[in-house]
Chains A and B, each alone.
Chain A
Amino acid sequence: MHRKAHRGLAIASTLALLIAVAGCGGDDGPGSGGAPVPGVTDTEITVGTHMPLTGPASAGYSKIAPATKAYFDYVNANGGVHGRKITYKIMDDGYNPANTQQVVRQLVLQDKVFAVLNGLGTPTHTGVLDFLKSNRVPDLFVASGSRSWDQPDKYPGTFGFNPDYTVEGKILATYAKTNLAGQKVCFLGQDDDFGRDSLVGVEKVLGASAVAVKQTYVTSNTNVAPQIGAFKAAGCQVVVLATVPGFTALSIGTAARLGFKPQWLVSNVGADHPTLAKQLGAAAPLLEGMVGTNYLPMQNDTANPWIQLFTKINKEHNGDAPFDGNTVYGMSVGYLFVQVLLAAGKDLTREKVLDAVQKGGFQGPGLVPLRFSEKDHSGYGGQRLSRVSGGVQTYFGPAYETDEADGAVNEYTAPAAVPPANGVPTGS
């Protein structure tokens, strides 16, 4: 057994290595030639993303990347961008940072993608920032509101998409300050950057002492009764939620059974009405009056030309999957990326794409402007408030624009952009 085990070990290791060697033929890829741009040929552009498609965190999020892909398929069916078709490689990381490491390396080193687009999640994406930087891979439109993506000096190739959580906190707090003056405001946030940054925003507007009770939750504990109980005991009248959809529903449901009915002000992360209503089932009427935020067209607004366009694409290229905020989000990301490719010109390189994003000026489905510039790599710079009324979530009031620092919260009044007739952005 003794010697056999050793021989076995030696044989096994040799075999494993040989298999690995046999599995690939190429030589050191990046940097060897110089002339060809990774992931770009005359007929194709390959980009990739990492998303949770399985596991507990996949609810909702698993629909984003397929929606983006559907938009690319639509563009491809209409002739592509500068004659190139977009191939979108979607990698499942199960929201596990260790898997993200693997799949992003696979995308970059093996599949040789041109860029990583809309990688999802703060803990997952944080781990690959350095890798993407050292391989000079454009890291566009990260799907998270963390402020980590806005570090142009440290990570020149990384750009955000979502408004950051502080911006959102400031806008929600402004609503509380102007419309619910004098009421007792409390806060429930996820115990990470999301909750913390959001609370910072709320306190910037209301003042640090104005938030009466601050509670946190962790996703691994689905009992929020103690937190909600504390709000009730303190007599909170307004509760700001920096929660993911599951915990928004859970908090509102728990409050109802404790006989506690405050005004809910909910982060856009956890304010998508169809998602919440589906989860609450028969208890969906509890969502009545909930104030949320968003920065993309409302998925139920059938009069909106963007929604009409996206619904059509969803039917034709996404198997008519249930249409919700995640679908709108995914397609908006796709639209923005096509705009960027067009702006980068026919002679596509990674540098040109980054220059194009920094130049900014993209008009798309968003209700507020994208902030991209040389000094600013964060995404949307504001949000608009929505309210659930009669089981329908609709926008009200103006859109707001602000920064993550001490800047004022201003109304944004520019008229909304209209999609081009064929739904594919034009070169200008």
Chain B
Amino acid sequence: MSATRAAVPPKQQLVGAGRPADRRRGSTLLRHLAVVLAAGLLLVAVSYSVEPFRNFQLATVAAYFCATAGLTVLTGLNGQLSLGHGALMATGAYTVALCQTAFADRGMTGGWLLPLSLAAAVVSTVAVGAVVGVAAARLRGPYLAGVTLAVAVVVPALAVTFDGVFNGEQGLSVPVEPPPLSLGAYFPYERWQLWVTGAATLLALLLLANLIRSRYGRTFRAVRDDEVAARLAGIHVARTQVLAFVVSAATAGLGGALLAVLAQSVSPGAFSLTLSLFLLMAVVIGGLGRLSGALWGAVLLVALPDLTHSLTELLTLSPAVAQRLEGNLPLAIFGLTLIVVMIAAPGGVQGLLSRLGRALLARRPTRHS
């Protein structure tokens, strides 16, 4: 810790020199709070104006957003590639399932139980993340990818091996209490789900955004950009990498836990290697290294199966052809889009939007003058 603190002055020159942000540091937290509050209010308003299915979809977006935000911090800001975030999500999800079941079995009820389970999920994922992170800090590039890939594959194996606890491939159910009665007897369950996941996600994002803006966030980037320079500047590289991994694991665990609460069940099939790869694709397509990009990625993860279906429904085909195209055609289009996006716009959706915005801003003054 002291080493990191000693490193502050040179590092500021290294990374964030001359940014106006440094002068206005005191207000960062307040500004983030304001953004989060606004987003929260907007979310409540939206939850009343859309139908239950959209509420559920938005809640799922929020849960995935937790995970993608953590991944984009790890991969985008700290430069560590993880193919195993699905496993970290599973850790959180199983913890919540075990906690909630334990509470329900003991007949305990109360609104504070769910936050407690979610906190337990974060703690257990932090522990797992610290172990993986310590190993990861020694590894680079594809070797890190290899280990995290193996971590992703291990989840179903553990669920099956310890099926006394995890109930094998069938998984566990997650007992969740209905919305509090004070909200009314007919309060839609999906709206309640959106509130719970939305609140948890916004809280996590608030902490994450502040971390990114803090000294730690700058050390993350310094390590990513140039390890030697970072070390010369007095940054403890390995410790920074472990810290990034732990932070990322915590949000992934929360995301997985929220997903489990939404689904009211956990099973290894939901946290397969495919999920890990899709998370990575989502943050890259959204725009790596930016929280807004992570949001786009989360939206994409939820919208994709939906699009998949609508697309095939648009086409009227003979049964034989339809059977082959169903499911496959949208995946092909998605794959193709992924390739084209990566070649044409490596900054992802958010990069594209920023460029668009800049182009618009740049054109306006010329018109006025």
On A, residues with C-beta under 8 Å from B are 1-6, 8-14, 16-17, 20-21, 23-24, 26-31, 53-54, 58, 62-63, 66, 69-70, 90-92, 94-99, 101-103, 105-106, 109-110, 122-124, 126-127, 130-131, 134, 146, 191-193, 218, 220, 317-321
With both beta carbons as reference points, the residue of chain A lying nearest to B313 in the complex is identified as: A89
Do A12 and B171 touch (CB < 8 A)? no
- Excluding A58-B327, A126-B173, 9 further A-B contacts by CB distance (< 8 Å) are A4-B354, A5-B290, A8-B290, A11-B353, A20-B46, A20-B57, A23-B54, A96-B272, A122-B170
**A58: which B residues are within 8 A, CB to CB?**
327
Q: With contacts A54-B327, A99-B305 known, is A24 near B51, CB below 8 A? A: yes
- Contacts A54-B328, A123-B170, A321-B323; is A16 near B269 (CB within 8 Å)? no
Q: A2-B213, A127-B264 are in contact. Are A92 and B320 (CB under 8 A)?
A: no
Q: Are A17 and B320 in contact (CB under 8 A)?
A: no
Contact check, B295 vs A97: say whether CB atoms are below 8 A apart.
no
What residues on B are CB-neighbors of A91 within 8 Å? 309
Of the listed stretches B110-118, B183-191, B243-251, chain A binds B183-191
Interface of A, helix, strand, loop or mixed by DSSP: helix
Interface residues of B, Cβ cutoff 8 Å to A? 19-21, 31-32, 35, 38-39, 42-43, 46, 49-54, 56-58, 60-61, 153, 156-157, 160, 163, 168-171, 173, 186, 188-190, 209, 213, 259, 262-265, 267, 269-272, 274-275, 290-292, 295-296, 299, 302, 305-306, 308-309, 318-323, 326-328, 331, 350, 353-354
B residues in contact with A1, CB < 8 Å: 19
Given A70-B319, A97-B267; A16-B188 close (CB under 8 Å)? no
Closest residue of chain A to B202 (Cβ to Cβ) is: A13
CA distance in complex: A91, B307 (Å): 12
The verdict on A123 contacting B269 (CB below 8 Å), with A27-B51, A53-B326 known, is: yes
The 22 sampled A-B contact pairs (Cβ below 8 Å) are: A2-B20, A5-B290, A9-B290, A12-B296, A12-B350, A13-B39, A13-B42, A13-B292, A17-B58, A24-B53, A24-B54, A53-B326, A54-B327, A91-B309, A92-B326, A94-B327, A98-B271, A99-B305, A127-B267, A130-B265, A193-B168, A218-B156
- Report whether B170 and A319 are in contact in the complex, using a CB–CB cutoff of 8 Å: no
The minimal Cβ–Cβ distance linking A80 to chain B, given in whole angstroms, is 19
Closest to B32 in A: A6
Give the chain A neighbours of B54 by CB distance below 8 A: 20-21, 23-24
Interface contact A130-B270, CB-CB below 8 Å? no
Q: Which residues of B contact A134 (CB under 8 A)?
A: 189
State the CA gap A131–B261 with chains docked (Å).
12
| A109 near B53: Cβ-Cβ < 8 Å | yes
Contact, CB under 8 Å: A317 / B319: yes
Residue of A4, A8, A66, A191 near B160 (CB, 8 A) is A191
